[in-house]
Amino acid sequence: MEAEKIKESIKRAAQDLFRKFGYHKTSVNEIAKRAKIAKATIYKYFDSKEAVLHVLLMDYIQTSVSELVHSNSGEDEEAHLNSLIMKTCRLSYTVCNEFIGWDFIRESANSQEFLKNLSNELEELLVSAFSQLGGIRKQENYHQRLRFLIKCSKSIVFSFAFTSVSDSDVRKNFVSFQKEILPYLVKAAMTI
């Protein structure tokens, strides 16, 4: 197998297993077995299981950010910011729920730092992607508004992962965030 095919095989196997069992419950041995390679081969391409997860997440996030950036082009700025933050929150939820797993988030000593770094990368991707657009996205202070909303929202949303007992609690928190907190954050951002 050539290098890129091996790397893609590892990523596909890891993605399937992370989505099925969560990051915490998936071993490097299982990834190697699913990819039909030796365990040592994984370490030839990735430093750790966490590095595999990071690459998968960044691939997923970059694709999702591209979709986010090109949606809602006809909305006014307030509606656009509200929609963008909810879609970003859903993206964060999907990352936590489908790739990482809530058990890892709640039980791992590294999870807070990992999620903090991931959310910072998501923030930079969003701001960078939107800086390339025209229209209302070029208005004065737009990037400040967007960065403010993302910072506030990500702090709130990622706190759900650490304070919720079940997936249903997380979903309830998202609904509360959307109805009770986000409108005020958007209004605050509009005053920047």
d(CA 104, CA 130): 32
Amino acid at 160: F
**pTM score above 0.75:** no
Q: Which residue has the higher pLDDT, 113 or 33?
A: 33
Given phi > 0 = left and psi -120 to 50 = alpha, else beta, which region is 72?
left
Question: Which residues, other chains included, contact 130 with Cβ-Cβ below 8 Å and sequence gap of 6+?
Answer: 69, 137, 142, 143, 146
Greater pLDDT, 61 or 103: 61
Pick from 36-45, 64-73, 74-83 the range whose average pLDDT is largest.
36-45
Choice between 43 and 82, residue whose per-residue pLDDT is larger: 43
Give the tokens for residue 3.
């290098």
What would the pLDDT profile of 7-55 be if each residue is shown by its tens digit? 999 999 999 998 888 888 899 999 999 999 999 999 999 999 989 988 9
Burial class of residue 56 (count of CB atoms within 10 Å of its CB; 0-12, 13-18, 19+): buried
Most confident of 53-57, 108-112, 116-120, 173-177: 53-57
pLDDT of residue 161: 63
pLDDT band at 73, cuts 50/70/90? low
